[in-house]
Chains A and B, each alone.
Chain A
Amino acid sequence: MSCRSSVIIVALVMLLTAPLSSQSIPRTPDGHPDLQGIWTNATITPLERPAELAGKPTLTDAEAAQAEKKAAEDLASVDGKSEHPLLAAAGSNGTGGYNILFIDRGSEFARVDGVKRTSLIIDPPDGKVPPFKPGKKPTFEGYGRFDSVKDRPLSERCLLGFGSTSGPPMLPVLYNNNYEIVQTPDHVMILVEMVHDARIIRMNGTHPPPEVRQWLGDSIGHWDGDTLVVDTTNFTSRTRFRGSSENLHVIERFTRVSGDTILYRATIDDPVFTKMWTLEYPFAATKGPIYEYACHEGNYALTDILGGARKSEQK
């Protein structure tokens, strides 16, 4: 073999085995990373690091594999059992509303930089939502009222998905963790399967005046190198994320780190918290389609809930 052939072969091998560089991610005709496609953010990594894992931000693959297996087995073993904490936490409170049939939250911990993480929150380093400033903890006034449709939570009214699935910040929830991104030079649209919300991000735009308030806030974007940065303000006072106020300001970063992964990062900036905090986890490419989620089409639950309250009043 000639020296020249050897060099070519070595170069080819290096090319084939090299990690995906920023050059190899898909790009749109204007040269920016192409974020388009269907993605899922399903993961069993919780937003906050559980107390039992304090000081342990990551798991080895072996630890993660065992824990994932056991989590799946435990979930199967509690199917239909109303007293289980998972089901109670999901709102069943003794009625066992959630069996496995309802749940499609993924089966793995989130992997970033090659290691699996025990919380989505990366800052503060303890993986916990920082405390509220004194007197800023919301009271959820009227949360338990049943006098009107408007008393009920936005998710029950089919206005927004629960658990900040649409965000921002966007979080994985119990099911329907699927998103479709469509991108032009002027706009990025993120279709959220849950409740069929569409986030419209205006590139290089400016926020409207503060009197304009929207369920999903107002999102504007720009490119920071190969990262899409999205800035969102102008939320309504009822769009509560972990006790946030209408002054919530979210800065998101979408980076297509490989052909099948977008690294998602969101920083939560709201004066009700003692400090800003940041979460980070991957979105994985997935097969479609996204199904429509026309939440109003058969929302018997809302009439049942209000009807049940009227019935209780008669007693």
Chain B
Amino acid sequence: MNQREGRKPIMNMKCIVAITGAVLVAAAPVWAHHAFAAEFDAKRPVHLEGTVSKVELINPHAWIHVDVVGPDGKVTSWMVEAGSPNVLLRRGFTKTAVAPGTRVVVEGYQSKDGSLRANGRDITLPDGRKLFLGSSGTGAPYDQKK
């Protein structure tokens, strides 16, 4: 094997790393339905532990209602913003997929207007499982096609 052939795989790997990094960044549009930074306050992270009281599978985003018991025993009701209902439906997630009473842990950011609304950056069940599964092999149309 000459030197040139010997180098080839390394170049390919470099190329693939570049492709992956480039695609991850470049494929995202600058603006989604709304900019989360305009709705939620990056300086107000919230950590919520509570029970689901209701799931609103509505457009343009689903909202999960969570009752949180404070240290004083007082219950506050938070709303947590989730994904597009159409995407969720394609993954088999319906209004009844998360039963009222299910305990969840939410990491997110509170809305800028100070209401008890947060984005669901990360929603986890107490046993550590994510409330929602990843996007590949989910039964989405693109997956079904293959």
Which A residues are closer than 8 A to B by beta carbons?
38, 40, 42, 44-48, 50-53, 56, 59, 63, 66-67, 70-72, 74-76, 79-80, 82, 85-86, 89-108, 118, 146, 153, 155-156, 158, 161-163, 173-178, 193, 195, 260, 284-287, 291-302, 304-305, 307-312
Stretch from B22-30, B47-55, B69-77, B95-103 contacting the other chain: B22-30
Cα distance, A74 to B145, chains bound together (Å): 23
Residues of B within 8 A of A177 (CB): 142
B59 touches A295 (CB 8 A): yes
A100 touches B84 (CB 8 A): no
B119 touches A95 (CB 8 A): yes
Question: Which listed residue (A52, A178, A297, A308) contacts B41, Cβ 8 A?
Answer: A308
A301 touches B37 (CB 8 A): no
1/0 contact string of B80-118 vs chain A (CB within 8 Å): 011111111110000000000000000111011111010
Residues of B within 8 A of A95 (CB): 36-37, 40-42, 108-109, 119, 121
B82, chain A: closest CB distance, angstroms: 6
From 8 to 40 in chain B, residues with beta carbon under 8 angstroms from any chain A beta carbon are 12, 15-40
Known: A86-B27, A104-B90, A295-B33. 12 other contacts (CB 8 A): A51-B22, A67-B16, A70-B17, A97-B36, A100-B134, A101-B83, A102-B84, A295-B60, A297-B58, A301-B61, A304-B115, A307-B115
Helix, strand, loop or mixed for chain B's interface?
Answer: mixed
Interface size on B, residues (CB 8 A): 72
A52 touches B19 (CB 8 A): yes
A286 touches B25 (CB 8 A): no
Cα distance, A76 to B138, chains bound together (Å): 13
Residues of A within 8 A of B61 (CB): 298, 300-301
B30 touches A89 (CB 8 A): yes
A71 touches B20 (CB 8 A): yes
Residues of B within 8 A of A46 (CB): 22-23, 26-27
A155 touches B87 (CB 8 A): no
Give me 6 A-to-B residue pairs in the complex whose CB atoms sit less than 8 angstroms apart, sorted by A's number: A86-B27, A90-B29, A260-B145, A292-B59, A297-B59, A300-B81
A304 touches B113 (CB 8 A): yes
B25, chain A: closest CB distance, angstroms: 5
Residues of B within 8 A of A310 (CB): 113
